[in-house]
Structure 1
Amino acid sequence: MNWIQRKIYLYNVTFGLYMLDWWERCTFNIVVIILMCFVLRYVTQFFKRYVW
């Protein structure tokens, strides 16, 4: 196991994704990516508005 495979394994075990089907894992990952995009967008707007 290399470093990347270990991180993927840790992610799957931490969130319980190892017991889901492939399409459920894919759906969960898509939702996580969308939420991360919203958070990143909010943080950048916050910094543009209040910090700079």
Structure 2
Amino acid sequence: MLNSKRAMNWVQRKIYLYNVTFGLYMLDWWEHYLFSILIFVLLWFIYHNSSRCVSEFFKR
């Protein structure tokens, strides 16, 4: 019980840090979700292209 509570506290702190760092706490709920979706798509695009580049590098 204590370990799961500590892990949840860590997650809540990371979410709070994300909101404060990007200033999302002052946006409306739909702007917050839109920004989060855009960040997620950007990170996925970077990950996907990086993995393709690395796999091509090791195939050579």
Tell me the TM-score normalized by structure 1.
0.90
Map of 1:11 onto structure 2? 18
**Aligned partners of 1:36, 1:11: CA distance in 2, in Å?**
15
> Which residue type is aligned with residue 20 of structure 2?
V
**Aligned partners of 1:51, 1:14: CA distance in 2, in Å?**
37
Map of 1:49 onto structure 2? 56
After TM superposition, which residue ranges in structure 1, 4 or more long, deviate above 6 angstroms?
none
Instruction: Find 1:21's aligned residue among 28, 32, 43.
Output: 28
CA RMSD of aligned residues (A): 1.3
Instruction: Find 2:40's aligned residue among 30, 33, 39.
Output: 33
**Number of equivalences:** 52
Rg larger for: 2
**Aligned partners of 1:45, 1:23: CA distance in 2, in Å?**
33
Larger RCO, structures 1/2 (Cα 8 Å, 6+ apart): 1
> Which residue type is aligned with residue 47 of structure 2?
L
Identity percentage of aligned residues = 52
